């Protein structure tokens, strides 16, 4: 599936029928500049005769590419032979899927912290920078010609695995390479350029180094755990070890995953979670919040009512097409 032509997926869809509000909001948020309509052709979202390209389709609010999907699963054991504790499927544009994947990981992992005389040290399960880099690479560099495929996020007690369709573009095996010296070979340059402009990744192709550095320099990692990378002709897999799994026993304070907090003590947590989700996904609907967070309709409704009453969020748009926005957005 070529990025610039109509391709097998976008076909001859008319560009004028699609909107890019989510991209425009995120672009301005990340760069401080408005995404100008005159850029759509030069960026590669539309041909000069007004046909939506595959790259454009992947950023459209109503993404028409069926394999732009995400499967997220929390596994109870160390292998997939155990039952899953939580699994969800999502589809949408790349900004939406990235937000969804980050949020799913956040609410299903633990953040520990240890108090010191004058401050405290956070001990997250996974370095945030490593997670974001691995997810962005999965969505940007995956092979979108593989119909029926999707990105997988699998959370195990001891690791996080992110699997994307398609191996290394040049056919090499990443497990046989020097990760600090892998030449940049971008399968989808339009996607990579736009994410680089929004500071999600670097054009020079240092994604492996960024993930390795996050474990070596950014996060408390006394056991020296390292990420692993594997590829085949059909898939690419990143394995991020859980920094809080195993090791010597220490006394920590815990911030448990939000998704397992009890109803009695979770009202403030769910309010904060929904508020942060709305900030990161302006225009999200109540139904989307319910599906994304895995909470009951009544729980989400109560939280929304509370946030509206306290002036933190507001609803905009019609009853059928409107959604929720942070008050300061």
What pLDDT does residue 115 have? 65
Average pLDDT, the chain: 83
What pLDDT does residue 4 have? 45
* 46 and 185 inside one domain: no
* 274 and 236 inside one domain: no
CATH number of the domain to which 203 belongs: 3.30.565.60
Q: Which residues contact 147 (CB under 8 A, 6 or more apart)?
A: 66, 67
pLDDT in tens, 161-186: 999 999 998 889 999 988 888 877 78
Count of structural domains within the chain: 3
* Rounded CA separation 222/251 (Å): 15
* 145 and 275 inside one domain: no
Domain assignment present for 2: no
In the DSSP assignment, the letter for residue 28 is H
Cα dist from 185 to 64, 141, 162, 206, whole Å: 26, 9, 20, 11
Answer with the one of 202, 227, 253 that is the final residue of a domain: 253
* 141 and 55 inside one domain: no
Domain of residue 294: give its range: 261-326
Specify the 3-state DSSP secondary structure of 211: helix
Is the distance from CB of 278 to CB of 313 less than 8 angstroms? yes
Answer with the one of 231, 253, 275 that is the final residue of a domain: 253
Domain assignment present for 1: no
* 235 and 297 inside one domain: no
Low-confidence ranges of the chain (pLDDT < 70): 1-11, 82, 111-122, 203-206, 246-268, 294, 329
This model's pTM is above 0.85: no
What pLDDT does residue 8 have? 44
Q: Which residues contact 240 (CB under 8 A, 6 or more apart)?
A: 126, 130, 131, 134, 159, 160, 161, 162, 211, 227
* 80 and 199 inside one domain: yes
Q: Counting Cβ atoms within 10 Å, is residue 3 exposed (0-12), middle (13-18) or buried (19+)?
A: buried
Share of the chain above pLDDT 70, in %: 84
CATH number of the domain to which 319 belongs: 1.10.10.10
Domain assignment present for 307: yes
What pLDDT does residue 245 have? 82
What pLDDT does residue 184 have? 75
In the DSSP assignment, the letter for residue 216 is I
Is the distance from CB of 201 to CB of 136 less than 8 angstroms? yes
Answer with the one of 253, 286, 302 that is the final residue of a domain: 253
* 202 and 275 inside one domain: no
* 301 and 199 inside one domain: no
pLDDT in tens, 55-106: 999 999 999 999 999 999 999 888 887 677 788 899 999 999 999 999 999 8
Domain assignment present for 64: no
* 305 and 243 inside one domain: no
What pLDDT does residue 310 have? 86
Closest to 295 (Cα-Cα) out of 86, 77, 82: 86
Closest to 309 (Cα-Cα) out of 295, 291, 327, 297: 327
């Amino acid at each position: 599936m070529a990025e610039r032509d109509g391709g097998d997926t976008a076909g001859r869809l008319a560009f004028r029928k699609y909107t890019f509000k989510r991209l425009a909001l995120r672009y301005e948020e990340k760069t401080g500049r408005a995404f100008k309509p005159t850029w759509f052709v030069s960026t590669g979202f539309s041909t000069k005769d007004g046909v939506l390209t595959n790259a454009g389709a992947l950023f459209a609010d109503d993404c028409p590419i069926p394999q732009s999907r995400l499967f997220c699963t929390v596994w109870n054991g160390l292998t997939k032979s155990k039952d899953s504790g939580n699994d969800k499927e999502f589809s949408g544009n790349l900004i939406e899927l990235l937000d969804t994947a980050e949020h799913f990981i956040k609410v299903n992992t633990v953040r520990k912290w240890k108090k010191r005389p004058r401050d405290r040290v956070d001990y997250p399960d996974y370095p945030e920078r490593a997670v974001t880099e691995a997810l962005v690479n999965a969505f940007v560099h995956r092979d979108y010609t593989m119909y029926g495929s999707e990105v997988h996020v699998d959370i195990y007690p001891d690791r996080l695995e992110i699997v994307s369709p398609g191996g290394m573009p040049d056919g090499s095996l990443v497990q046989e390479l020097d990760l600090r010296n892998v030449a940049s070979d971008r399968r989808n340059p339009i996607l990579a350029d736009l994410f680089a402009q929004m500071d999600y990744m670097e054009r020079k192709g240092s994604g492996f180094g960024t993930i390795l550095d996050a474990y070596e320099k950014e996060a408390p990692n006394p056991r020296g755990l390292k990420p692993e990378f594997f590829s085949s002709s059909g898939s690419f897999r990143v394995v991020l070890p859980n920094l809080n799994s195993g090791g010597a026993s220490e006394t920590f304070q815990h911030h448990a995953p939000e998704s397992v907090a009890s109803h009695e003590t979770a009202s403030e947590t769910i309010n904060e979670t929904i508020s942060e989700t709305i900030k990161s996904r302006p225009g999200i609907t109540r139904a989307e919040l319910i599906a994304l967070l895995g909470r009951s309709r009544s729980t989400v409704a109560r939280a929304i009512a509370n946030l509206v009453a306290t002036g933190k969020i507001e609803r905009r748009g019609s009853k059928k097409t409107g959604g929720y926005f942070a008050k300061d957005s």
